[in-house]
Amino acid sequence: MTTSPDRFHHVRLHRCRSTNDYIRENFTRLQEDLPLMVSAGTQSSGRGREGHSWFSAPGLGLYVTFAFRLVDARRLSLLSIVSGVAAVDMLNGWTGMEFALKWPNDVLGGGKKVAGILCENMVVGEAVTCLVGIGINLNQRPADFPAELQAAAASLRTLTGREWPVGEGRERLAAEMTAWLWRLAGDPQAVIDRARALNRPFVGKEISFHHQGKTCLGVCRGLAADGGLQLETAGGELQVFYSGEIKP
């Protein structure tokens, strides 16, 4: 990162449309504070990957966006993966449980989605600013989720039976992001290796994969050397994807 990664300048919001959007809309003022972490108690229009929304129950989850610039822009292709690795390792270390990484950056616990990540880039002049929005379900009970999400979503509370402090989670996540961004700068292979380990539950299994409006079936063969998802199709062809989504 071009600015100190040892600590993110923190902006706390009670409510906003989305933390990613807040940074975009106020970037002229906020860019002097990079690297930056914006957190909100709730989001009225939280966003996820592939055009999905992110349900942001007031006071029950962790909703945060990190904004920073990478030292080496060639590492941008690994931004989603390194963010997912940081989120999983934070949750593993905090809870003592084992979470899985569904490529590229969905976090699963007990087979259900606990956290989601939206990575975006802003280009102003020659400078590229990375926005990493992370939502983590902390203290929702099953009834706190909309009916259409109850079968697929989980929280730390539903998994462990106890409440989790938002502030501590936020600080732990910031520390893990800092550590993994340093690794990305110095040893990107370490990021790939860790992502492969966390993605292992999907390797060798038939998956449904959605890409550019089409859905195909194939066997997941893990991550390629550059972080792409390897999918073996019915004809035995090995394809590598750099965008898309593994469907349930």
Instruction: Answer yes or no: is pLDDT of 44 > 50.
Output: yes
122 & 207 share domain: no
Inside any domain, residue 2 = no
What is the pLDDT confidence band of residue 65, given thresholds at 50, 70 and 90?
A: very high
pLDDT averaged over every residue in the chain: 90
155 & 106 share domain: yes
What is the pLDDT confidence band of residue 27, given thresholds at 50, 70 and 90?
A: very high
Residues of the chain with pLDDT > 70, as a percent, come to 93
130 & 228 share domain: no
At 116, which CATH number?
A: 3.30.930.10
For residues 109 and 124, the model is more confident at: 109
Q: How many domains does the chain divide into?
A: 2
Instruction: Answer yes or no: is pLDDT of 211 > 70.
Output: yes
26 & 142 share domain: yes
- Can you tell me the mean pLDDT for 92-104? 96
188 & 224 share domain: no
**pLDDT at 46 (0 to 100):** 62
Instruction: Answer yes or no: is pLDDT of 115 > 70.
Output: yes
What is the pLDDT confidence band of residue 2, given thresholds at 50, 70 and 90?
A: very low
147 & 91 share domain: yes
**pLDDT at 5 (0 to 100):** 46
- Can you tell me the mean pLDDT for 111-138? 92
189 & 207 share domain: no
Instruction: Answer yes or no: is pLDDT of 95 > 90.
Output: yes
The H or E element containing residue 168 is helix 166-186
Instruction: Answer yes or no: is pLDDT of 33 > 70.
Output: yes
Instruction: Answer yes or no: is pLDDT of 4 > 80.
Output: no
Question: For residue 28, what are its two tokens?
Answer: 């002229």
* Domain encompassing residue 211: 203-247
Instruction: Answer yes or no: is pLDDT of 149 > 90.
Output: no
End-to-end CA separation in angstroms for the chain: 35
**pLDDT at 214 (0 to 100):** 87
Instruction: Answer yes or no: is pLDDT of 48 > 70.
Output: no
- Can you tell me the mean pLDDT for 188-192? 95
Find the angle CA(182)-CA(80)-CA(135) to the nearest 5 degrees.
100
79 & 125 share domain: yes
Q: Kindly give the pairing relationship between strand 214-223 and strand 206-211.
A: antiparallel
Domain boundary pick from 198, 221, 239? 198
Inside any domain, residue 4 = no
pTM above 0.85, yes or no: yes
236 & 212 share domain: yes
**pLDDT at 47 (0 to 100):** 63
Give DSSP secondary structure letters for 185-217. Answer: HH-HHHHHHHHHHHTGGGTTSEEEEEETTEEEE
For residues 97 and 155, the answer to whether their CB atoms sit within 8 Å is no
